[in-house]
C-alpha cells in the first residue's frame, strides 16, 4: 500500500509572512482580512504573522524573494489586485507577478502562494475579495498552511 501525504490546516506552529500590495488598497485590505481570518481559524497566533506592504503587484516577487531567502517563515502569502485597463500594462504586471511568485517558491523551496486577483473589471475583483465568489486572501492562506504542513513531512 502506498503512503499518502497531504498537508493539514493546523497552522499553530508556523511563522507566516503576508505581502500586501497597496495598489487598489480597498480590495487588497479585504484580501488581508480574509487571510487573517483563515489563519486564526487554523490556529496561527497573531505574533506568528508578519505583514509587509509594497506599492503594487509588480513589486510582490522581490519582497517574496527577500522573505523566502531569509528562511524565517514557513510560508509567504502574496496578496494583490490587478484590474485590466485600456493598455497592455495589465498583461505585463499580472504575468510577471505570477511568474515571479512561482519562481521564488521553487528557488527557495518555501511555499509562496498566489492571492493576487487578476480581473477584467472592478466588480470581478470585488467578487473575489470576499464578495459573491470567494476571498482569494483566505484561499491563499489555506494553501500556504497546507503546503507548509506538507513540507514538514519531507
Q: How many CA atoms lie within 13 A of 32 on its CB side?
A: 18
The percentage of residues in the chain with a pLDDT greater than 70, rounded to a whole number, is: 100
The CA distance from 39 to 145, in Å, is 8
Answer yes or no: is pLDDT of 91 > 90: no
Instruction: State the pLDDT at residue 89.
Output: 83
Establish whether 60 is a catalytic residue: no
29-82 pLDDT tens trace: 999 999 999 999 999 999 999 999 999 999 999 999 999 999 999 999 999 999
Domains of the chain: 16-152 (3.40.50.960)
> Among the options 12, 45, 69, 89, which is catalytic?
89
Instruction: State the pLDDT at residue 70.
Output: 98
Q: What are the residues whose beta carbons fall under 8 Å from the beta carbon of 9, sequence distance 6 or more?
A: 41, 42, 142, 145, 146, 149
pTM here is: 0.95
Question: Do 148 and 7 meet the contact criterion of CB atoms below 8 Å apart?
Answer: yes
Answer yes or no: is pLDDT of 153 > 80: no
Residue 143 in grid coordinates: 494553501
Amino acid at each position: 500500500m502506498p503512503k499518502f501525504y497531504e498537508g493539514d490546516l493546523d497552522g499553530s506552529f508556523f511563522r507566516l509572512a503576508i505581502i500586501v500590495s497597496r495598489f487598489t488598497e480597498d480590495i487588497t485590505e479585504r484580501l488581508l482580512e480574509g487571510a487573517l481570518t483563515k489563519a486564526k481559524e487554523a490556529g496561527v497566533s497573531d505574533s506568528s504573522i508578519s505583514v509587509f506592504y509594497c506599492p503594487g503587484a509588480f513589486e510582490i516577487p522581490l519582497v517574496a524573494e527577500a522573505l523566502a531567502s531569509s528562511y524565517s517563515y514557513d510560508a509567504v502569502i502574496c496578496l494583490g489586485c490587478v484590474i485590466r485597463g485600456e493598455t497592455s500594462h495589465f498583461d505585463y504586471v499580472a504575468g510577471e507577478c505570477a511568474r515571479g511568485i512561482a519562481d521564488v517558491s521553487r528557488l527557495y523551496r518555501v511555499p509562496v502562494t498566489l492571492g493576487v486577483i487578476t480581473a477584467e473589471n472592478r466588480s470581478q475583483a470585488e467578487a473575489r475579495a470576499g464578495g459573491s465568489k470567494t476571498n482569494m486572501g483566505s484561499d491563499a492562506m489555506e494553501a500556504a498552511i497546507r503546503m507548509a504542513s506538507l513540507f514538514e513531512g519531507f
